[in-house]
């Protein structure tokens, strides 16, 4: 909390520029290619019978699509991104998470970038703060303020030990966080969703948190955006202390994380993110137990362009998911979630994930 007032804001702008310039910050590991689904030549349904809608946090969404937490801050680019994403999420009735709202507390001018309820009056909006801030002076009031600023349906608390460890100014005080996250989950009055940012949550992590009132987990596994690689660009590239490239592919691949965490369902609702790049990846993530599929990097270029460009992306994903469901003979998303009989490989083969 003692950081320079605008350091957080400046970082947000740098992140977008780095991702725009270095395409390899998206690691494109395509881990979902290893998961294969059983084709049905006789699906016994018509294409137009396929219904991709779901209910999430008491709201009806047109598809299990989440535009994952990305940004917000006091800068025209960041405001444009959030407004385009919010308008598209509302038009298409999909969920939207905003990036970390910590910046709101050091730069009041950044608040307007999170005031998205007027643009997205009905759809599901998710607030966001770094869980490690709970060890840096943040508490229940900050969480409440973040939720109120957005008019959010739930609060994401993100865990990013890798990202913090590879930056010189990183917050690395992670001791005792599980208990504090549990306290927020019990007292906030809105659901708390725990997420990573691209290195995945493990069975041990979820065991620590499942008994403490957290009912939603976003695995945010590896395979897509690498925060280690992004942080590499923000430092002296020749320095021996720059560990960003060494750790760029660290983490639990998203399909593997979903598979490990399936034992917690249905008590815990799982969200898949990290490296999902198509509606086909979404179908696979749902079969592996996810109830909602998040994507961040695939929306970033479109969000800098226009609302229409984001809408196009969402419609593409929805069409791809619908096609996969038709070819599996599955009419409703509920029949896809956790339905491992749709996996091609025999039991045991999933160890390769």
Ligand X SMILES: Cc1cc2nc3c(=O)[nH]c(=O)nc-3n(C[C@H](O)[C@H](O)[C@H](O)COP(=O)(O)O)c2cc1C
> Which residues make up the interface to ligand X (CB under 6 A)?
15-16, 19, 68-71, 99-100, 128, 156, 158, 195, 197-198, 220, 224-225, 273-276, 295-298, 300
Nearest residue (CB) to ligand X, 232 versus 328: 232
CB within 8 Å of 139: residues ≥ 6 apart: 184
CB within 8 Å of 41: residues ≥ 6 apart: none
Residue of this chain nearest to ligand X (CB atom): 224
Asked whether the bond before 266 is cis by omega within 30 degrees of 0, the reply is: yes
Specify whether the CB–CB gap between 279 and 320 falls below 8 A.
yes
Nearest distance from C-beta of residue 29 to ligand X, angstroms: 10
Is beta strand 54-56 parallel, antiparallel or unpaired with respect to 59-61? Answer: antiparallel
Nearest distance from C-beta of residue 268 to ligand X, angstroms: 17
Nearest residue (CB) to ligand X, 274 versus 338: 274
Nearest distance from C-beta of residue 207 to ligand X, angstroms: 21
Nearest residue (CB) to ligand X, 195 versus 330: 195
Q: Is 169 exposed, middle or buried (0-12, 13-18, 19+ CB in 10 A)?
A: exposed
Nearest residue (CB) to ligand X, 271 versus 330: 271
Nearest residue (CB) to ligand X, 86 versus 296: 296
Nearest distance from C-beta of residue 223 to ligand X, angstroms: 7
Q: How many residues appear in the chain?
A: 353
Return the bridge partners of 60, or none.
Answer: 55
Dihedral in degrees, nearest 10, Cα atoms 202, 204, 209, 210: 90
Nearest distance from C-beta of residue 296 to ligand X, angstroms: 3
Nearest distance from C-beta of residue 144 to ligand X, angstroms: 18
For tokens 């520029």, the residue is 17
Return the bridge partners of 56, or none.
Answer: 59
Nearest residue (CB) to ligand X, 158 versus 322: 158
């Amino acid at each position: 909390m003692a950081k320079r007032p605008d350091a957080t804001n400046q970082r947000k702008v740098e992140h977008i520029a780095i991702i725009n310039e270095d395409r390899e910050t998206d690691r494109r590991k395509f881990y979902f290619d290893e998961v294969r689904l059983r084709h049905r030549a006789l699906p016994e349904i018509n294409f137009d019978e396929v219904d991709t809608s779901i209910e999430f946090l008491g709201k009806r969404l047109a598809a299990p699509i989440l535009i994952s937490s990305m940004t917000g801050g006091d800068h025209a680019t960041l405001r444009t991104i959030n407004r385009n994403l919010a308008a598209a999420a509302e038009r298409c009735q999909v969920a939207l998470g905003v990036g970390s709202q910590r910046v709101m507390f050091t730069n009041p001018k950044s608040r307007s970038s999170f005031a998205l309820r007027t643009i997205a009056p009905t759809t599901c909006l998710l607030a966001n703060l770094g869980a490690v801030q709970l060890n840096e002076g943040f508490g229940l009031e900050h969480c409440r303020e973040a939720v109120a600023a957005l008019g959010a349906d739930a609060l994401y608390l993100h865990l990013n030990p890798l990202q913090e460890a590879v930056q010189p100014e990183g917050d690395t005080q992670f001791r005792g966080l599980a208990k504090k996250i549990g306290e927020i989950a019990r007292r906030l009055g809105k659901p708390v969703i725990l997420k990573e940012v691209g290195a995945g949550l493990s069975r041990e992590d979820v065991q620590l948190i499942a008994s403490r009132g957290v009912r939603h987990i976003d695995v945010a596994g590896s395979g897509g955006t690498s925060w280690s690689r992004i942080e590499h660009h923000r430092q002296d590239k020749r320095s021996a202390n720059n560990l960003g490239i060494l750790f760029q592919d660290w983490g639990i691949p998203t399909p593997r994380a979903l598979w490990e965490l399936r034992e917690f369902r249905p008590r815990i609702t799982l969200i898949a993110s990290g490296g999902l790049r198509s509606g086909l990846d979404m179908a696979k993530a749902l079969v592996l137990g996810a109830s909602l599929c998040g994507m961040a990097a695939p929306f970033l270029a479109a969000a800098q362009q226009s609302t229409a460009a984001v809408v196009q992306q969402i419609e593409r994903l929805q069409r791809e998911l619908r096609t996969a469901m038709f070819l599996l003979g599955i009419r409703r998303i509920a029949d896809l979630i956790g339905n491992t009989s749709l996996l091609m490989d025999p039991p045991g083969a999933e160890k390769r994930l």
